[in-house]
Amino acid sequence: MSTVRSPFRSQVRALTDHAVTGLAVLATLLVVTPLVAIFGYLIYKGAVSLNWAFFTQIPKPVGEAGGGMANAILGSGILLGVASLIGVPIGIGAGIFLAEFGRGTKLANAVRFTADVLNGVPSIVMGLAIYALIVVPQGHFSALSGGVALGVMMIPTVCRTTEEMLLMVPHAVREAALGLGVPNWRSVLSITVKTASPGIITGCMLAFARVAGETAPLLFTALGNDFWSASLNQPIAALPLQIYVYALSPYDDWHRLAWAGALVLILLIVLAVSLVRFVTSRGVLKGAS
Amino acid sequence: MGVSIEVTNLNAWYGTNHTLQDINLKIPANHATALIGPSGCGKSTFVRCLNRMHETNPVARVTGSVRMGEMDIYADTTPVEIRRRVGMVFQRPNPFPTMSIYDNVAAGLKLNGYSNRRALDEIVEKSLRNSALWDEVKDDLKKKSGASLSGGQQQRLCIARALAVDPEVLLMDEPASALDPVSTSKIEDLIFQLKAQYTIVIVTHNMQQAARVAENTGFFLNGRMVEFDSTHKIFTNPSDKRTEDYITGRFG
């Protein structure tokens, strides 16, 4: 007993406590540093080139000063819209199947495995696959093919987060619904999915933010466009593509625009995610987990 | 009004585990019936067989018959239908976490497509009054989440939710075991009042509780019902040696 209470032991314990806390803080800083650094550097490099024209004008020919990426912002919006229309419903549907209806079946295991593999497919390969499946048969690059490529990339993330979030809903909550004489399908849709919805929305946002910055799958599909286009059947501009082209160009002017584009891309993603969070959190009661 | 329950030769299995063996008993209408026995003796399985909740477990299987009034719940109806007539309150309070107090109570009706606002308002108030929760929550019915209430209030909310679908039978699986003594006594008072309108079956580990609320008590042991009699008889002069050993605390 006396050894346990000796001052030396308690000092060692306090020291260990400090050391472990210190390591945890250090690790946290290491995680946060790159994010802050990237964001700070983007603001430093990009903010100077941000002006009204950037959001309202299309790119000017080389040599002419000014110009903006308005068409790329619109294009990214359209591409992500198409991608979300494909990725979110299919992903959530598959996730619901995995967690609720297909649990333990061979089909569910196959779907889960496929989703995991799909998640690991390099994005450039996804671009090539959609190129072969849509662009070649159609005979031209298009916004549609770009949106499909991004949408397919969203599916596995949405599907697996949906499944995991549904499995986290306590068994007691499902039993409560079934015990009231609610049919199983109704209980799944109105109770289980609703209870898990904050997590499912987070998964969708994660997938959305991830594909919003993708360049590779768009190279062979959306292609890029220097002019206004909102047609699904035409090549379309996208912020990541524009940044890619501008950053690789030999012109200082374009480099500055690329920095501004990168900053705008990140800001738009943050804006979109915050907006969805705000809209979906309204009406959900405080105190609900 | 409550309805009587007649159980004949009920056997239940989870996989190869024979959890209930040859249960025969008659539960009278508008009475509270307590089921006691050590953990794992099959009493929870038994009440789950009374509203076919055991069927949510894919390996569960049942033989025998359970009649509620004139209806054989295994032959004449569906699990969904029977669960509307037989309400259930679980061991741990399980309000729907994303719903307001009001929506929790209305859930059973709303999810079954009932949408008459005024009637819903009335049913919600009546159910909350019947579960002795109305005065505590009436001012923030739609403002507060069911999950924000205390444990005892949550359990009464769950009782209100079960009452709102107007069942004939109320099954309670250790409804007070996760609650403090004050909340427990509120639940017991409630059971006392509710049996005027419903047939109540309550599983409990607390023998004083059984003695306080129930007219009849059944003693379960190792998947069999050892004895079923008036509560007074079970606790003062049991016919079976094993019942006596259990209630005097010699095992279990």
pLDDT at A175 over 50: yes
Query: Would you call B9 helix, strand, or coil by DSSP?
Result: strand
Q: What is the largest CA-CA distance in chain B?
A: 56
Cα(B52)–Cα(B79) distance, integer angstroms: 6
How far A108 CA sits from the closest chain B CA (Å)? 17
Q: Are residues A79 and A108 in the same domain?
A: yes
Compute the nearest-CA separation of A165 from chain B (Å). 14
Instruction: Determine whether the interchain pair A186/B111 forms a contact, defined as Cβ–Cβ distance below 8 Å.
Output: yes
DSSP 8-state code for residue B247: H
Residue A238 belongs to a domain with what CATH number? 1.10.3720.10
* Cβ distance of A285 and B83 shorter than 8 Å: no
Residues A81 and A9 in one domain: no
Instruction: Report how far residue A16's alpha carbon sits from residue A9's, in angstroms, rounded to the nearest whole number.
Output: 11
Q: What residues in B contact A288, CB-CB < 8 Å? A: 97-99, 145, 147
Query: Which positions in chain B touch A172 (Cβ < 8 Å)?
Result: 90, 92, 94
Percent share of chain A, pLDDT over 90: 76
Residue B223 lies in a domain: yes
Shortest distance between the Cα of B236 and any Cα of chain A, in A, equals 35
Residue B157 maps to a domain:
no
Identify whether A286 is part of a domain: no
Q: Does A287 reside within a domain?
A: no
Instruction: Tell me the nearest-neighbour CA distance from A109 into chain B, angstroms.
Output: 18
| Chain B residues with beta carbon closer than 8 angstroms to that of A179 | 51, 53, 83, 87-88, 90, 162
What's the pLDDT tens digit per position in B54-92?
A: 998 889 999 999 999 989 999 989 999 999 999 999 999
Confidence (pLDDT) at A288 = 39
Chain B residues within 8 A of A284 when measuring between CB atoms: 98
Q: Name residues whose C-beta falls within 8 Å of residue B167's C-beta, 6 or more positions apart in sequence.
A: B84, B85, B86, B87, B198
pLDDT in tens, A112-148: 999 999 999 999 999 999 999 999 999 999 999 999 9
Same domain as A68, residue A179 = yes
Is B222 in contact with B41 (CB distance < 8 Å)? yes
pLDDT digits (tens, 9 = 90+) for A179-237: 999 999 999 999 999 999 989 999 999 999 999 999 999 999 999 999 999 999 999 99
Q: How many CA atoms lie within 13 A of A40 on its CB side?
A: 6
**DSSP assignment of A52-112, as one string?**
HHHHH-PPPPTTS-----HHHHHHHHHHHHHHHHHHHHHHHHHHHIIIIISTT-HHHHHHH
CATH number at B241 reads: 3.40.50.300
Q: How many domains does chain B have?
A: 1
What digits encode the pLDDT tens for the residues B111-154?
A: 988 889 999 999 999 999 989 899 999 999 999 999 999 999 99
Encode pLDDT of A5-18 as tens digits.
677 888 999 999 99
Q: How many CB pairs under 8 A join A and B?
A: 87
| B204 lies in some domain | yes
Asked if residue A103 and residue A74 are part of one domain, the reply reads yes
Residue with tokens 């009920």, as numbered in its chain: B10
Count of structural domains within chain A = 2
Distance separating alpha carbons of residues A153 and A200, to the nearest angstrom: 17
Burial class of residue B248, CB neighbours in 10 A (0-12, 13-18, 19+):
exposed
Give the pLDDT confidence score for residue A287 in this predicted structure.
36
Closest by CA to A80, choosing from A149, A21, A131, is A149
Measure Cα distances from A272 to A46, A64, A84, A181, A279 in Å: 20, 32, 12, 40, 11
Residues A124 and A139 in one domain: yes
Half-sphere exposure of residue B76: CA atoms within 13 angstroms, side-chain side: 9
The rounded distance, in Å, linking the Cα atoms of B200 and B172 is 8
List chain A residues with CB under 8 Å of B99: 285, 288
Pull the structure tokens for residue B142: 């739609």
CB contact under 8 A, B94 and A288: no
Query: Residue B56 has what DSSP assignment?
Result: G
Pair (A175, A219) in one structural domain: yes
Question: Do residues A203 and A224 share a domain?
Answer: yes
Tokens standing for residue B191 = 């059971």
In a domain, B117, yes or no: no
Do A182 and A244 reside in the same domain of the chain?
yes
- Are residue A118 and residue A84 in the same domain, yes or no? yes
B151 CB neighbours in chain A (<8 A) are none
Whole-number average pLDDT of chain B = 92
Q: Please state the pTM of the whole predicted model.
A: 0.84
Per-residue pLDDT for B228 more than 90? yes
Out of B87, B94, B99, the one facing A172 most closely (by C-beta) is: B94
Residue B10: give the domain boundaries: 5-95+168-247
Nearest to A287 among B94, B107, B145 (CB): B145
Distance CA B82, CA A279 (A): 39
Which chain B residues are Cβ-neighbours of A190 within 8 angstroms?
111
Q: Tell me, yes or no, whether A111 and A8 share the same domain.
A: no
Average pLDDT over residues B163-183: 91
Whether residues A247 and A217 share a domain: the answer is yes
* pLDDT of B215 over the 70 cut: yes
Range of the domain at A17: 2-49
In a domain, A184, yes or no: yes
Residue B82 lies in a domain: yes
Cβ–Cβ below 8 Å for A197 and B158: no
Are residues A39 and A75 part of one domain?
A: no
Taking only the tens place, the pLDDT of each residue in A260-281 is 999 999 999 999 888 888 887 7
**Residue A3 — very low, low, confident or very high, per pLDDT cuts 50/70/90?**
low
d(CA B61, CA B56): 11
A289, part of any domain: no
pLDDT at site B238: 93
Last residue of a domain, one of A16, A31, A49: A49
